[in-house]
Structure 1
Amino acid sequence: MSETEPPVLARKDGRVGRLLLNRPHALNSLNLEMIRRVAEALDAWEHDPEVAAVVLGGAGERGLCAGADIRAIHDDVRRGGGADSARFWAEEYRLNARIARYPKPYVALMDGVVMGGGVGLSAHGGVRVVTERAKVAMPETTIGFVPDVGGTWLLSRAPGEVGTHLALTAGAVGAGDALLCGLADHFVPADRLASFATALARATPGQALEEFAEPAPEAALAAHRAWIDPCYRADDVAEILHRLRGSGTTAAKEAAVAIEGKSPTSLKVTLAALRRARALSSLEEALDQEYRTSVAALSSPDLTEGVRAQIIDKDRRPRWSPGTLDEVGEAEVARHFAAAPGGDLGLGASGPGVGN
């Protein structure tokens, strides 16, 4: 991307509208301008008879999108309490809902890194394509945050407790596991992805997939469900850790170590959010709930501390507050599910056609 290029490139190509996230130097991390440009393109193409489908990709060689620009969120919270971040999330989550209900095929090319907000722009689409280079994750607990962009909706509906495992450990999965977890639909090898994308200009997504899709790699997590499901079935993080440590399985013990390094507050709120999301009836309701947990995180010290440790100072030694699970009381968890001070999104009240 040059200084004169916009952060999202939108153009018509044959029968498709192409969206290219265009901040490769920042692994296409999202800001408010990008959210608005994607939304504007979807508005323009929805009723355009020349556009039969939308194709989302990312510039550069490293991936589709690493998520939101969390350094900007850190600076916003430190500078002004997070008002700009709340505005960003409100527009981002509305866009996530719009993508899920978009009336034309929305094809997401999930190649390389697809994390956080990148999942929100891709995994709600109607045609989600992964490659063997894909690294799909909701890494929020690592930075003192809670899965958002519809992540709690998606992960709470993954088979068994695999979604709980991914949410608490913040682990990344490849193509096979992305398909297992319902985060993607089809596998196209990376060396055929450009040809597949080109074919979409002249063929329907179904026709292009018939030509280029191949059997997906093995889902590695499927073989671990014997310990994942019973360990993560508990509704208490401390009990989950107890079961993981006592499972007698090396991979389970490694998962426990990974979880122990995350924000205790984020872990408790994340587990509660996943359990609540299972009982919700729509993505929109989950996004409403996530807006509450996201805005509440703005007043928690862990979000800025997590970003400092992972992105700014990169010492990877966050000082969480509170520092232990026992110190995170029920009232603190409940606070994250209260109505946001500036008002809720109200997406769920709008019904499944929201944004259309």
Structure 2
Amino acid sequence: MSADDSVLLHTEGRAGYLTLNRPRALNALDHTMVRRIDEALTAWEHDPAVATVVLRGAGARGLCAGGDIRAIHRDASAGGGASSRAFWRDEYRLNDRIARYPKPYVALMDGIVMGGGVGLSAHAGVRIVTERSRIAMPETGIGFVPDVGGTFLLARAPGELGTHLALTGAAVGAADALLLGLADHFVPAARLSDLADGLAGAGVPETVARHAATAPGGELAAHREWIDSCYAADTVEEITERLADSGEQAAKEAAETLYTRSPTSLKVTLAALRRARALGSLEHALDQEYRIACAMLTSPDLVEGIRAQIIDKDRDPRWTPDRLAAVTAAEVARHFAPPAGPDLGLGAGGAAARDA
């Protein structure tokens, strides 16, 4: 496969189709793909023949499993992180562009949609899920934080549902994605191809309405009471204590999950979510996430987490520090300071920064 084959582009009727085409890697997103998507969006934005953009993934397993974290591991281990910072700058700007895109952008969130895949789809104007959808921001398991606007999305979820998903990295299905505000419509997977084809010749609202259905029941609504109570605590330590002592089996399982996550990532993630609630815009949240991501490159947990989960697959990361109590307030604050290099500047610089 050539580099240009990693994202397939074609137009049919009034629609432009973006197909992520790395099915063996579950369409993991790399820098070349980010650039190619951005170039296509530029061309179609100014093409009067294209009325709608449709995002989908090749293969049967899902839209996108996230960013190419093997490349980030190589860069952070040996390259000093410059390539990763450049990737994040372009990726986060693309996430912002998708949210602001002036034409209908329809994301088909079928199958696995995680990390960077959420950034390509959950900011879309029209977000479609199916009974096969499994959506997650699992970054605390690799020593990272929810990014690509994930803190903005999860901070706006009802109650503390977003906090639960951000800290545990739990995956949700269609009904829960709708409840969380990560999706807009449910379409059975068997109708997805007809929906995509129909967008070439008809408007988005009527095409979606023709294929949409009621999503199968979700799980989160039944757990709102303990989730809202436990995750409303001010610290990760208190959250885990409340979960463990709640008397609910699902809450105890959530506590056990948190015990396996990077303590630094958990504390930075909680702080990022709480701050995102007050930031007021996706642009400011992306700016914050960029600062955090740059700081994470200088922390041992990101390299170690990717090693344990993806490279060696021993599933036994050795976090530094390995206890919540050892993660100081100063260490958390460090992740929100301006980076050594240029800032992202989406919130501060507006259109000028986005178009630079």
With the shorter chain as reference, the TM-score category is over 0.9
Tell me which amino acid in the other structure corresponds to 1:240.
I
Distance 1:104 1:179 in 2: 22
Tell me which amino acid in the other structure corresponds to 2:307.
R
Pairing of 1:183-202 with structure 2 (within 5 A): 183-202=182-201
Is residue 232 from structure 1 mapped to residue 220 from structure 2 by the alignment? no
Moved over 6 A (4+): none
Match of 1:279 in 2: 278
Tell me which amino acid in the other structure corresponds to 1:71.
R
Contact kept in structure 2, 1:63 and 1:111, CA below 8 Å = yes
Pairing of 1:1-356 with structure 2 (within 5 A): 2-3=1-2, 6-351=5-350, 355=354
Tell me which amino acid in the other structure corresponds to 1:196.
L
Q: Kindly tell me: are residues 103 and 96 of structure 1, through their superposed partners in 2, closer, same or farther at Cα, counting changes over 3 Å?
A: same
> How many angstroms does 1:101 deviate by?
0.3
> How many angstroms does 1:219 deviate by?
2.5
> How many angstroms does 1:351 deviate by?
3.7
Higher helix share: 2
Tell me which amino acid in the other structure corresponds to 2:253.
E
Distance 2:6 2:203 in 1: 27
Tell me which amino acid in the other structure corresponds to 2:138.
P
Q: Kindly tell me: are residues 180 and 354 of structure 1, through their superposed partners in 2, closer, same or farther at Cα, counting changes over 3 Å?
A: farther
Contact kept in structure 2, 1:138 and 1:147, CA below 8 Å = yes
Tell me which amino acid in the other structure corresponds to 1:297.
M
Q: Kindly tell me: are residues 229 and 353 of structure 1, through their superposed partners in 2, closer, same or farther at Cα, counting changes over 3 Å?
A: farther
Distance 2:147 2:4 in 1: 29
Contact kept in structure 1, 2:3 and 2:32, CA below 8 Å = no
After superposition, give the CA deviation of every residue in 1:158-204 in whole Å (9 maximum; x if it has no partner).
00000000000000000000000010000000111011111111111
Structure 2 spans left out of the alignment, 5+ residues: none
Contact kept in structure 2, 1:97 and 1:354, CA below 8 Å = no
> How many angstroms does 1:79 deviate by?
1.2
Contact kept in structure 1, 2:345 and 2:353, CA below 8 Å = no
Tell me which amino acid in the other structure corresponds to 2:64.
C
Q: CA RMSD in A?
A: 1.2
Structure 1 spans left out of the alignment, 5+ residues: none
Tell me which amino acid in the other structure corresponds to 2:160.
E
Distance 1:162 1:227 in 2: 10
Q: Kindly tell me: are residues 354 and 212 of structure 1, through their superposed partners in 2, closer, same or farther at Cα, counting changes over 3 Å?
A: farther
**Percent same amino acid at aligned positions?**
67
Tell me which amino acid in the other structure corresponds to 2:136.
A
Instruction: Give the number of aligned pairs.
Output: 355
Taking structure 2 as the reference length, what is the TM-score of the superposition? 0.98
Contact kept in structure 2, 1:98 and 1:354, CA below 8 Å = no
Taking structure 1 as the reference length, what is the TM-score of the superposition? 0.98
